[in-house]
Amino acid sequence: MRKKIRPSKLIAILLTVLAIITLVKLGFWQLDRAAEKEQLFADYDARQITSIHLNALQDPIDSLNRYVEVSITGTFLNRYLLLDNQILNGQAGYQIIGLLKAQFADDTTRFVMVNLGWVPWGQNREQLPDLELPQGELTVNGFFYQPQLSGVWGASETFIEAERWPMRVTQLDAEAISDATQLPIQPYVVLLSETAEYGWPRQWQPQVMTPEKHRAYALQWFSLALACLLVFWFASRSKKITTEE
């Protein structure tokens, strides 16, 4: 006669399997992040010096790498975005994202996000910075950048305070921002040149967790998964020996 698995043991098995699957997925997610950071640093090191005029291109996403020098001509809206939780020299604040209205080679008018630099948080989270953006038509010089949208296992982490301007956002998700603003936003950003006379403090060399640290975290997750498996195996074996005695 076959022995029935007790409910308590079945629950323990299910919890152990769930924990191991979760830990392994977190480990592989960290490895994916390590690969992304390696590519980010590689793009920065391999950036081109020759400037490319974005107005003459129809789809820069397919033809440009991150940190290529670019220029674009257009006019800033008098409204802007606040990219939240940005750190500069150990202090938290916002990056100011201007929306540049530009004409492109296919005779369409679209809006390009321009990162104008960093400002600190106010005395409280409800106090948003009141800033003046450049007026009139101008040519912006900077670096081409395609934001990497964060999320665990494909889950989006974009949050937008769409009820007021300046509009606070957690990441530069062009599709979500287009929906919130009802504007045709391009899926890339121009990082304003550090030598431009306007804008706010900015530093475009990647200031992110290194690939090595991501791999170390991945090793920790995989080690925890192995530890869960070993603890469950030893506990089950010990209980079996005790029962037989």
User: Would you tell me how many other CB atoms lie within 10 Å of the CB of residue 196?
Assistant: 15
* Distance of alpha carbon 10 from alpha carbon 26, whole angstroms: 24
> For position 209, what pLDDT does the model report?
63
> For position 169, what pLDDT does the model report?
96
* Partners of 93 in beta bridges: 86, 120
- The CA radius of gyration of the chain, in Å to the nearest whole number, is 25
* Distance of alpha carbon 56 from alpha carbon 245, whole angstroms: 82
* Distance of alpha carbon 40 from alpha carbon 198, whole angstroms: 26
pLDDT tens, position by position, 45-87: 665 566 789 998 877 777 688 888 899 999 999 999 999 999 8
> For position 198, what pLDDT does the model report?
95
pLDDT tens, position by position, 184-211: 999 999 999 999 999 999 988 765 667 7
> For position 44, what pLDDT does the model report?
65
Q: Domain-by-domain residue ranges, the chain?
A: 7-38+211-244, 48-192
> For position 1, what pLDDT does the model report?
46
> For position 119, what pLDDT does the model report?
96
Low-confidence ranges of the chain (pLDDT < 50): 1, 152-155, 244
